[in-house]
Structure 1
Amino acid sequence: MIKSIRKRDGRLVDFEVDKIAGALYKAFSACFDKVELKKVYAIAHDVEKRLEEKESTLPTVELVQDTVEEILIEEGYVRVAKAYILYRDKRSRSRDMKSILLESIENESSDDINLFDVFENLMNDAMDKTRKEDLKKVFKLLKELNIDEEIIYQKVSETFAMTDETLKSVIK
């Protein structure tokens, strides 16, 4: 029986099959109107069994997620596997953006930080990927840093040669 799992940051946390079931439920919900919890939990327990069979050491978050994908595909839930992979990718990009922003802030004294340069770099990445979700997250992070909303709109509009209205429609 798996007791613990290693998180991306190296911490050990309790292994919870309910968390796997929760992620599976979201993936199934993205593909189907009605989701059978019984099936979701059956797959989650299959993941747990597979991890127990293949791992003599402590499983990582990545290994758990890879195993979820394998089992979904093996059981014929290709669309669900795709939704799960896309969600996983979205979360990964979100973590990366947050990490870049925090690292930029930590590496500079508060007087030297040019948040707009950091924001511009993140925006370029977000626009390259044409991800409205990424743009919204960057905008939210800057708002959390108490940057005036109108200044953010102005700077982004200038950077990407778009009107405030276009930007507002993307962010809303």
Structure 2
Amino acid sequence: MKNLVRAGLMSAVMVVLMCGGVFAQSSFSAQGGAMVNGLIFGRSGSYVQNTSLDITNVTNEVVHCKVTFYDHDGIDITHLAKVYTGSAGSRTIVLATGTAEYDIPAHSTRCFQLDSGIDGSYRYCSAEILWSSEDKKPHKALIGTARNSGGTGTSLYYGNYPINNGQPF
């Protein structure tokens, strides 16, 4: 009986230790966030459909933003993401590829976009937006818009909608 109790206790300790390692992998401590659904992207021949999130920092401090994109089956597809900023020229500037974790300077906007993917792919998506800041005072630091666009080059469409009903989060 004593060995059975000891084996049970050791099993419980092992489970706690193994789970602790899994939970320790995520070091992002979010102060706020929002969920976005209704995102779609894909490619079929000359037809391309894109989705992106334009996220603006409304604080006076740098905000660390982490966007996780999920496909229609709940699979993390953030590796298909790129982070962009604007430029004085006619092209956007790619700041990061394969990630959607980036610092957004005070009162600045960054575009988090999914690559259109491989020909023949089509995905309904959602995104989780989390943020943190060195300043622990702000309760709402970001505001954003989701954008879906697509077409063949001669026939285009464009639509956007506010994240969090247009309110800071």
Q: Could you tell me the TM-score, scaled by structure 2's length?
A: 0.22
Q: Could you tell me the TM-score, scaled by structure 1's length?
A: 0.22
Query: Which is bigger in relative contact order (C-alpha 8 A, separation at least 6)?
Result: 2
